[in-house]
Chain A
């Protein structure tokens, strides 16, 4: 690719634009945040729900894990809301402007917990397993 060697006024599909870079960066970041969140949830729910590992997951363990995941997301929303309120009392800032996935997703999943959040989040992110 010689897109770096020839300055030109127009943009063509062969040029690597800042916009594309920014979009890719944001996507990568969102995926990294999502994976980190998943890892945390795994740790917490294993701790709470799998007390004596058996030869398979029992149905009570499975349902515990489901509830645990929901509760942890809810707990994230609660923490995010408190953090945003703390930010607002400290310095004037639009709610949610600093928010990232997954805090943002958590808040949007629990509207009773959250405030109305305005954001420019990164768009759909797939969970890789």
Chain B
């Protein structure tokens, strides 16, 4: 059984990856219209979700969402629900992937075509997301161990810059008394939604000891504030909306005086490349497991059939990704915005359904103890 700290890894991964998933964009667009208040509200909401969901999943030790839903609800209800969730998880991965392909093309290798880059990423992700969950968690831990110091370094360096305009940041802070905005809240809660991967990874956990919930809230708040305010310190309250890749431009503005390379961009890119590939792998792993659970011939258990099943699903994933490549920067942004809102609804409905399942299970136990 896996230690509880891997749960924190899943949480941390999502909270750091928000930069790639257009969360800063959402917040920036509403910086004068209640983004800061939304952040302050998103933190307790997100933390509550984390707490409630883990408590609920604790009632089903060693079971994933498919097993719980299929055993406690009629197939006719559980199958479409699982399908929706599977698609959501797939979209979560695909947005990270496409966004990152975009960033790679802009900043690192403008001369390479888009398709070689995306195919390279797809091969890596598809090969890795078939790996069993336990290995993925171990891998995630190692990758966080590598990237976290780099990200911390970049953050410290960003704030220590004498050219960082604290006045611009404070100017945005004075816009705090504005009524919160639902879209920004949806974006803000994305940082906390790493817990939802427990839907599949709960198969590995038996008893999650959720200690220091306040730590989750504090970390979430700090990362959200960094995400939102640091680019403003670099590009000003007005200029910031003109930057498309807000955080990568910010990293590009940080100069390292005493190192082999002068530009923070490359360190930042390396850290986020590893982290975002890992996050796509985790999301698609969950998506894959969910799809597998609703495939009609799920009963056939020969290893060959299993293998084929997985590759058919992954093949579909890849084809859909390649088809989604037609989107331009604004369309991808739009898709990400929709995703951020729909996934919030999805989380709520999953928690509600789990509540229902817990009640039903208790009733069943009482009837035949």
A interacts with B: no
B interface residues (Cβ-Cβ under 8 A, vs A): none
A interface residues (Cβ-Cβ under 8 A, vs B): none
